[in-house]
Amino acid sequence: MKMTILRLLLAAAVLAAVSTRAADKAVRYEGQPGGKIKIDGTSSVHDWTVETQIIGGFLEVDAAFDADFKAFKKPKVEVSIPIRSLKSGKKPMDTVMQETMKMGEHPKIEYRLIDMSPRPGAEAAKAQFEARGALTVAGVTRTNTMVVTLQHVDAKTIKVTGTAAVKMTDHGMKPPAPALALGLIKTGDDVKLTIEWLTARVEGEKK
């Protein structure tokens, strides 16, 4: 009798562990074409913009959170952007930007989420969050905070949008001052990142 009870308890423990693992199973989304990251800045001559549609990385969310953003559990997020893909439409400016961002030594901008908390008014398919992450530019990592919105575009696609203020000097970059015929162009230290990232769910078991 005692052995039967022990076996029942062991079986219940195994089933509970399996159920917990199933509930906690991460759903993985990976970066897809169709998004855009834009960097806006200022200079003594005119404002400037560079942008790219190449956004790599992944978003891993808890299964319950994937079904309903109100069931919050912090996701795992990593993003990478090739600096070479950032374009202004003007080759001389692109060259200056690549030199300023030390592309030869550090060819990518990288971001890793550290913490995230929901803001009021979350919906099942769309919600805002306060995100704190590690942003690495030109080989220098700094903590960055921004408000992001997660939205289920459809059953298999999540769109992440947000904006962040960044200083070049915080990442060891000197704002460029290229020389032209009319003199030096002075570039402002402050830039704004605008993010629109499309991610698609990866089918099958997470590796």
- Three-state secondary structure of 104-157: CCCCEEEEEEEEEEECCCCCCCEEEEEEEEEEEECCEEEEEEEEEEEEEEECCE
Average pLDDT over residues 35-39: 95
Q: Does domain 26-201 have CATH number 3.40.50.300?
A: no
Q: What percent of the chain has pLDDT over 90?
A: 72
- Nearest 5°: phi and psi at 31? -60, 140
Mention every residue, 6+ apart, whose C-beta is less than 8 A from residue 31. Answer: 55, 56, 57, 58, 79, 197, 198, 199
pLDDT grade for 46, boundaries at 50, 70 and 90: confident
Average pLDDT over residues 156-161: 96
More confident residue, 198 or 45: 198
On the question of pLDDT at 20 being above 50, the answer is no
Average of per-residue pLDDT values in the chain: 87
- pLDDT tens digits for range 69-91: 999 999 999 999 999 999 999 99
On the question of pLDDT at 6 being above 90, the answer is no
- pLDDT tens digits for range 113-151: 999 999 998 888 999 999 999 999 999 999 999 999 999
Q: What percent of the chain has pLDDT over 70?
A: 84
Average pLDDT over residues 57-77: 95
On the question of pLDDT at 105 being above 90, the answer is yes
Domain map (residue ranges) of the chain = 26-201
On the question of pLDDT at 17 being above 80, the answer is no
Q: Which residues of 59-88 are buried (b: 16+ CB within 10 A; e: fewer)?
A: bbbbebbbeebeebebbebbbbbebeebee
pTM of the predicted structure, to 2 decimals: 0.82
More confident residue, 67 or 204: 67
On the question of pLDDT at 26 being above 70, the answer is yes
Mention every residue, 6+ apart, whose C-beta is less than 8 A from residue 169. Answer: 175, 189
On the question of pLDDT at 23 being above 70, the answer is no
On the question of pLDDT at 94 being above 50, the answer is yes
